[in-house]
């Protein structure tokens, strides 16, 4: 079976780009793209961004394995996933402004379908933590209506599908130490330092 394909020519980058552009145009015209994605380079690594018609649905760090994240989106949202960078131009611009200190609040439509129940309630309170400020897991638990649910707040932050945009990095331990973070403890510290310096 392998021998059948040995005579096929390699596809160069320009041909691949043109074929992809035709695929995007045809899929857009047919209305069959449920999840569009792209990557953006940032000071904390290359982030994967994904959106639905409702809004930004996923931001993923390299440590989360972008291929695995795309597979999860195909399973949990829709199998109709395609790289369409233009659909995420606004998100990419706002992230670039954030990382260069020109934006303190994101103004993007969000699709929170990947978070349910108490976890979604927690996420709704994270945007109340101002730029350059922090709140403890206990404070967020109280704000979410369950003061004893400190561990559940930690779990909600750990599974936040929209890190950076929904600022779980601003949630710290009661003793002021940073705690864990989906992008890694060093990334969390870098984001907090960047915001504090602004």
Q: Which of 50, 123, 165, 168 is catalytic?
A: 168
What would you measure as the largest C-alpha separation in the chain, in angstroms? 66
Catalytic status, residue 157: no
Rounded Cα distance between 23 and 75, Å, is 22
Please state the φ and ψ torsions of residue 182, each to the nearest 5 degrees.
-60, -35
Q: What is the DSSP letter of 112?
A: -
- Cβ within 8 Å of residue 185, ≥6 positions away: 178, 179
Task: List residues with catalytic annotation.
Answer: 168
């Amino acid at each position: 079976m392998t021998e059948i394909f040995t005579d096929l020519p390699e596809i160069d980058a320009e041909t691949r780009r043109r074929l992809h552009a035709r695929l995007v145009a045809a899929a857009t015209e047919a209305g069959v793209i449920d999840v569009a994605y792209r990557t953006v380079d940032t000071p904390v690594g290359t982030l994967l961004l994904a959106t639905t018609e409702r809004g930004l649905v996923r931001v993923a760090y390299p440590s989360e394995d972008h291929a695995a994240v795309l597979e999860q989106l195909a399973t949990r949202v829709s199998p109709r996933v395609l790289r369409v960078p233009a659909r995420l131009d606004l998100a990419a611009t706002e992230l670039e402004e954030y990382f260069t200190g020109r934006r303190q609040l994101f103004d993007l439509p969000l699709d929170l379908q990947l978070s349910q129940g108490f976890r979604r309630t927690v996420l709704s309170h994270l945007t109340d933590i101002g730029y350059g400020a922090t709140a403890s897991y206990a404070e967020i638990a109280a704000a979410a209506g369950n003061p004893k649910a400190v561990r559940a707040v930690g779990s909600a932050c750990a599974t936040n599908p929209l890190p950076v945009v929904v600022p779980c990095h601003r949630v710290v331990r009661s003793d002021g130490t940073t705690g864990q973070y989906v992008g890694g403890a060093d990334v969390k510290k870098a984001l907090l330092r960047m915001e504090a310096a602004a």
